[in-house]
Structures are given as structure tokens and as C-alpha cells.
Structure 1
Amino acid sequence: MSFTVGGLFYQETVIAADLYVKNQDWTKVREEIFKTNLFQSRTSTALERVCREVLSRLKLLSIEQLKIIQDGSRQEQLQILWVAVCKRYSFIRDFAVEVIREKFLLMDYSLSEENYTIFFDTKAEWHEELERLKDSTKKKLKQVLFRILREAEITSEANIILPAILTKRVAKALIPKKSDESGIYMVLPVSDTDFKEWIK
């Protein structure tokens, strides 16, 4: 649940992805970020926290996906950043597939806090650690998740689900290379039919 550290971290992630594509070495990326405080954090503690969060997401992506964050259009970058968040946090991935995608396929585009509450309560029945969270932490989780959704343009400011249109480059970068990547495109508001068309 460490995604409460912040939001999507768009600027920081693009910087880190660019460094990795050029260096192909995560240790060097981290050193470069700290050497000149590339994330412009106010304190070394904040820099450490944000750097750890950003790199933990990026390390789950393929080089093809990282290159899209490096030089893709803003829309392409946001889509891959959202995929990275979902790969990093199964809680968010499940929410994306079980709530957002289901609503999208039913053409019900309004996402409410009640939708989140029902999802959380259902998960808490199977995961005691969620039930044990403080109310303040539960509130923060919801706030940050909804902020990430808006920053990634999965939803609008009014919490309306925005259908995703993928370029061929993004779609092909989401074709699974191994079993744990199967169906990762489903974290985006897209239909199976459209996805198959994009990868042709």
C-alpha cells in the first residue's frame, strides 16, 4: 500500500525512464538522480522515498515500455505509467479490472466513491491486513488512488471513465511476453475487440 507516497509521478518517471534507456543500469540511474537532485525534492528523505517508489514501478516494465515513457506522446506515456502502477500494486490492478473495466464494458462511465468502498470492503473480507488499516489510512488510499486515476487520464476530474485509445506502439508493447503479463492491457478502459485490432 505504499502508493500513498504520492501520485503518478509523471515528471519523475519520465526522467528516470530516460536515464535507464540511456544507461541500462538502475544503480547508475539512482546515483544520477541523487547527485543533482533531479526530482527537485525538498529533503533527502523525500527524494529517497519518491525515488524508491518510481524505480520500483519502472523495474517492472520491459525495455519497449520504458522507451515509450522516454519518447512517446503524453497520452502514450500516461498509459504505460498507469500500467506500471497496476503491475506494482495488485490492489490497484484488481480495481482497474474488476471495477473500472467492468463499468466501461457496460457503458457505465461514472465512477463513484461508493464503487471504491464496495470494492475495498469485498477485498477486506479476504485480506485481514486491509481491515486492520486505520481509518485515516483507508481515507488516504482512496484519495491517492482517485488522484492517480485522474493524473493518468483514466478518469476525468469529475470521475468519468475515459475510454483509452491505444496507438499500435503501445498495444504491441502490452502483448504478454510471459505468463504474469497476461491480460495487462485490461487495466486500461479498452475492449478486447479494439485491442485485437490495434495489434494487427
Structure 2
Amino acid sequence: MAGSYGAETTQGERYRLSFTVGGLLSPQGRALAEMYLNRMGGGSTERSSQTKVSEKVNEKSDKNADEEVGESIAAIRQQAIEENVLAIRTDSANRRVVAETTRRLSALTVGELAYLAGPDSSTSDREALMWIAMCRYYAIVGEFASEVLKKHHLTGNTHLDFEDYDRFIADKATWHPELETVSEGTAKKLRSNLFKAMREAHLFDKNSDTVLSFLPSPSLTDILRKRADSFGYLPMRESSL
């Protein structure tokens, strides 16, 4: 369904609350991004062919490279599962991780996917893109990133822990009663997986419960400027760009 892909808007709707597994899924995101670009563009993600890939995707789908991939990412799901592209041991886990990763990738643009899968992106930039994908796909994660994670960085209050998250959720429940109907077990999984993703994106240090500042490379900065709200998900000062 188209509604299950792309960035989430929550006007009058319930939050998506299915980020219970996988953490950041950065290596998985890169592998499936490359698979998607190859399938849609008929080429590799080598530097010389990245532009051709985007052009062919545009020809086939009439999408601009700056638009979200959306539900077209679903085209690779079955093949990724059958070929076990992510090398996951059990079929059920493979299906879950492929489904979760493709959903998050659906919130990125063709240009962002090309950079994610390409040879010029650093590990740090790829992790940041997968964090941004998670923030776009799950509005509640994006709101936590901008209203708590980034705010802590900007105010110099670098300590961040589960209590901060719990207060954030309690506040959001005023407008989103579905948060109060989540089971205790699921609520803990959501919280744990969000912190795991922040840790894997190197935006948070678990040992000291500390927010870590992030500075994107010039290449990633140029890509994100096309959707400048993305900087709001990262513990950084835009004035430093």
C-alpha cells in the first residue's frame, strides 16, 4: 500500500510504531539501495554511472531525483528475500529485516540512495542518511531527534537517557492516545531500538549517556540542502556548515 511507504505525516493520524527491530540498519540499507538502483537503472552504482542510474529511473517513473523513492522500493523486496541479499540466517528474520529496511529507504530520494550506495560516501555519512531515513519514515523518531536530541546538543545539555524519552512520549500522548495503548513490552522495544539506532549512527554514547555532535561531509551537506529540514534531525549547528 502506498500509505505504508514514504515519509510520515501525522496530521490527524496515528504514529507509525513498528521500529522494534534492527537498529539503524545501515549496511542493510546500503545493500538494498544498490540493488534498487541497479534494478531501476539497469547499471551499477560506480561513480561514472550514478548519473545514468538516476536518469534511467527518471525516464521510467517520471520522478525527479530529489523526490522520495516511495512505494517503488517495494519492487525489490521479493528478490531480496529470495536471494537472501542481506545474508540473514532464518527466513522469518530475513523477511522482517528486508521489509523494515525497504520501508525506511522509501523515505529517501533517488539522489540520496545513489550517494548511500555509491563509492564516495563515508561510513559516517551513510549512517547519517539511514538515521534521516528512520526520522522521515517514523515521524515520532524525527520529532524526538529534533525536539530532544538536537535540543540537548544546542543547549549544551549533552546528557540523554531513557527518562528524557519517557517524558517525550508522555507529552506526545496528549495528542496521540495510541501511545498509551502500546503494550509495556512493545514500548520498551521501541525505546531500546531508537537508542540503539542513535548509538549505531554515532550520535549517542551509551557508556556516558551523552549526545555526540555530528558534522556532515561537504558532499552530504550539498545533498541534504535540497531538503534542509533533514539537518534538524542531527545534533549539529547549521551555522557550522
User: Paired residue for 2:192, among 125, 138, 143?
Assistant: 143
2:32 maps to 16
2:235 maps to 189
Shift of 1:116: 0.8
Q: How many positions carry a matched residue from both structures?
A: 191
Residues of 1 paired with 2:165 and 2:111: CA distance?
32
Does residue 30 (structure 1) correspond to residue 77 (structure 2)? The answer is yes
User: Paired residue for 1:165, among 209, 215, 223?
Assistant: 215
Give structure 2 stretches of 5+ with no counterpart. 1-16, 41-71
Which piece of structure 1 moves more, 107-116 or 74-83?
107-116
1:4 maps to 20
Residues of 2 paired with 1:80 and 1:27: CA distance?
19
Residues of 1 paired with 2:74 and 2:182: CA distance?
34
Letter in 1 for 2:126: Q
Give percent identity, aligned residues only.
Answer: 29
2:148 maps to 99
Residues of 2 paired with 1:122 and 1:37: CA distance?
41
Shift of 1:182: 5.0
Query: Relative to structure 1, is the Cα distance of residues 116 and 28 closer, same or farther in structure 2, using a 3 angstrom cutoff?
Result: closer
Deviating beyond 4 angstroms after TM superposition, the runs of 4 or more aligned structure 1 residues are none
2:55 maps to none
Q: TM-score if structure 2 supplies the norm length? A: 0.74
Q: TM-score if structure 1 supplies the norm length? A: 0.89
**Kept after mapping to 2: 8 A contact 1:110/1:160:** yes
Shift of 1:192: 2.3
Residues of 1 paired with 2:169 and 2:236: CA distance?
23
Does residue 48 (structure 1) correspond to residue 64 (structure 2)? The answer is no
Shift of 1:128: 0.6
Shift of 1:28: 5.2
**Kept after mapping to 1: 8 A contact 2:173/2:180:** yes
Which piece of structure 1 moves more, 19-28 or 115-124?
19-28
Residues of 2 paired with 1:162 and 1:26: CA distance?
32
1:126 alignment partner, SS class? coil
Letter in 1 for 2:141: I
Shift of 1:49: 1.4
Letter in 2 for 1:123: K
